[in-house]
Chain A
Amino acid sequence: MIDAILNYQFLQNAFASGLIIGVIAPLLGVFVVVRRLSLIADALSHVTLAGIAGSLYLSQSFGALALLNPLYLGIVASVTGSLFIERLRRLYKHYEELAIPIIMSAGLGISAIFISVSEGFSSDLISYLFGSVSAVSRQDLWIVVSIAIIVILFLGLFFKEFFVLSFDEEYAKASGLPAKWIHILFMIVTALVIAGSMRIVGILLVSSLMTLPVAAAMRIAKSFKQAIIYSVVFGELAVLVGLVSAFYLDIAPGGTIVVTSIIILLLTLLAKKIRIKGVQIQ
């Protein structure tokens, strides 16, 4: 395996991107989950699909656009979608969750139109839907690296504000924090991570890498710091095991990464149960 990674650039791209995503997706995911925004990640991934499908269609129709990396339009769609979600959440103040099905169906509807009018990019599309070990280009890797730098910078600068905003929004506002702007920045960064992660995990499964490791970590973490550390460790483990098994079994990494995450989650549930029983016996 190590030999293969050293010899093949596509594997280097896939593993490097995967390992980076394994850190940033759960890292941001901790905040997504505690703020009860898990479904927003799903909605944004569907909007990203619209951007990707649009880009693939445009590259078919206009030769000049053939070299354009579909990720760029995917990122634009995802960020635009995140801003629309915010707008809708404010419009439907008492039904904030309505924003999610609206944006999700808009994304899926637009994707369906682009997929129908174009001819024969089904194999490309499958790799975008479920991830791919072989399709990650060097350019994709650089995009992921840039997104990771933005995420680390963002969390480094706003970590404490973010903690307050996630724990108690009213208190954050009363403390005079620019809650609205920090939240909009958060949505944009989340959109970037989703667009960046989908090359490896796939559009349909991208939100799982933001939520499943966090769900497992929350079962055993005693502090917020621990929740972050466990989430990142579980995320990395899922990506690593998922990518290696996807390579050997020749299947889409999205599936193996998600199944590994589910196994980790089940193990933490079991561990917690055993610990509780142990305490009861004592």
Chain B
Amino acid sequence: MAKQLINLHNVFYQYEQTVALRDINLIIEEGDFLAIIGPNGSGKSTLLKIILGLLKPTQGDVSLFEKPVGQFKEKELIGYVSQKSNSFNTGFPATVAEVVRSGLVKKVGLFHRYPKNVNNQVKQALKSVGMEKFAGKNIGDLSGGQQQRVFIARALISDPKILILDEPTVGVDSKNVRSFYNMLAHLNREHNITIVLVTHDVDAVSISISHVACLNQTIHFHGFKNEMDSMSDKQLEAWYGHSVRKVDHHSEVQS
């Protein structure tokens, strides 16, 4: 049986009077490529923040690598890529290499300097996302898709076992979304990195993922992506809040 890397048991999260998440039971195993999908305000980002320990659940237990989240100290095992648009300051005067190197901050530890071979590690991390030629470029000069690849390299440099991404393709043009997900699938398969991401691109991501979780305050479905077809119309409606219908994409649309 694969190792349980993330385990949420009966998790509730309440913000003031609003219940954001209720009765969440979710197990993510080593090697999974899970997409958490759901409408706006369904609690997707809140769920990621609870997994990352940025928010404390009102009720319930969270375990990471089979340890309660409070006792889990090896944060470098979890790589996090936040929503680009919310996060960094694009005018920041830093090179791609400087940004990627900063991903080692936790692994290296307080009061220690970066190791001597840090430049090689930066090179390797950039190579794994196809950005090795951009090491000397200013981060603000790159496109949205390229920036996200750099942030993945920043997460990969500490050799994480899990990669958590919050809406990684916001600001990425549609042309590059597919190749972005292909790259993630490659990391998942070839480097055995478990991937959890929150997205709206249900269609684009569906080719790459292994598992899907449908969230709207609670989890309406969690399983292999092809099992999602077994969701009844009633379940679909309960999840999305209004009538939705399934559309099969058997062929590429020609423009």
Contact = CB atoms under 8 A, between A and B. Distances in A.
Interface stretch (B24-32, B33-41, B86-94, B226-234): B86-94
A167 B139 CA distance: 11
Interface residues of A, number: 28
B93 A174 contact: no
Contacts of A174: 52-54, 75, 78, 80, 82
B102 A167 contact: yes
Interface string A154-180: 000110110110111011111111000
Contacts of B102: 160, 163-164, 167
B105 interface: yes
Contacts of A226: 93
A36 B88 CA distance: 12
Interface string B73-103: 1011010101000111101111100110010
B93 A227 contact: yes
Contact of A34 (B87, B92, B99, B154): B92
Interface string A131-166: 000000000000000000000000001101101101
A226 B105 CA distance: 21
A99 B82 CA distance: 28
B108 interface: yes
Nearest to B111: A157
Interface in A216-258: 217-218, 221-227
Interface in A72-130: none
Contact of A168 (B82, B91, B106, B136): B82
B138 interface: yes
Contacts of A218: 91, 93
Given A160-B108, A177-B105, A167 B88 contact: yes
Contacts of A168: 82, 87-88
Contacts of B108: 160
Contacts of B2: none
Nearest to A175: B106
B1 interface: no
B75 A176 contact: yes
Contacts of B92: 34, 166-167, 224
A170 B89 contact: no
A93 B76 CA distance: 29
Q: Taking each of A36, A174, A177, A227, which has the highest tally of chain B beta carbons within 10 Å of its own beta carbon? A: A174
A161 B75 contact: no
B110 interface: yes
Nearest to B93: A227
A7 B219 CA distance: 79
Contacts of B93: 34, 217-218, 221-224, 226-227
B83 to A, nearest CB: 9
Interface string B51-79: 01110000000000000000001011010
Contacts of A163: 94, 98, 102, 105
A176 B53 CA distance: 9
Given A36-B89, A160-B108, A177-B105, A171 B95 contact: no
B61 to A, nearest CB: 19
Contacts of A224: 92-95, 98
12 contacts: A157-B110, A164-B105, A167-B102, A170-B86, A175-B75, A175-B105, A175-B106, A176-B106, A177-B105, A218-B91, A222-B93, A222-B136
Nearest 6 CB-CB pairs, A to B?
Answer: A176-B75, A227-B93, A174-B80, A224-B94, A223-B95, A175-B106
Interface of A: 34, 36, 157-158, 160-161, 163-164, 166-168, 170-177, 217-218, 221-227
Given A170-B87, A171-B88, A221-B93, 6 more contacts: A163-B94, A164-B105, A167-B94, A168-B87, A176-B75, A222-B93
